[in-house]
Structure 1
């Protein structure tokens, strides 16, 4: 019984440490965002994603930006897909809306490590009307890129 009483505070302490730890990688404080590569015909996408990630990290993320030489970790990626296709149709099979999709392969690794913390494909998408009355294709691309950046940031926060 005395052993049980001694163990309970220890378990509570461990549980509190776990619940108050916000970083999935406690020893990683800084990150370098490498310029994204491009496998699509949309030249603006890699820089928009890279700049968007830098902006998000700069505005108070759990990781601080650093130069490649000083960073504890590296975030890199490649834009692998861009597509725009009809999404909804009228009864007469005429397109009403189009869906823009941007996909990237993203890698997060400890600086100088052989294997990454994670390496996965992430996608962002948005729709716009065929007549572009309320939103243009360009605005939909911006929304898709924003969604993609948000999903990458979520993955950085959760591991």
Structure 2
């Protein structure tokens, strides 16, 4: 059920997950050592969790320091725009059975690099909004 706030509509959890399932590119925000980094990542969803693959580097290092993350996607048409934010905990998949299950997801790197590390985002909060697009009202 959506909740209307004038030109802004709050999305239900189901609508948020439907939007998340309709995209494959989002932005992952992580913090470590007082620094905030944002990474574009391609991802897939399953059972109301987000999955992505990565290689050793800054992203994986920062996730090992602080597993608290935010993830965001958005979209727009001429009539509306929308945004979904997931806040939760990132965990690297370690069990072979979990890795094997993740390998069945429709996900492959966009760049020609080897990315063998699977990360799952376990959501603690999911929120989204839809915005009606219209001309700006008179200011004065």
- Normalising by the residue count of structure 1, what TM-score does the alignment of the two structures yield? 0.27
Q: Whose radius of gyration is greater, 1 or 2? A: 1
Q: Which has the higher contact order (CA 8 A, sep 6+)?
A: 2
- Normalising by the residue count of structure 2, what TM-score does the alignment of the two structures yield? 0.30
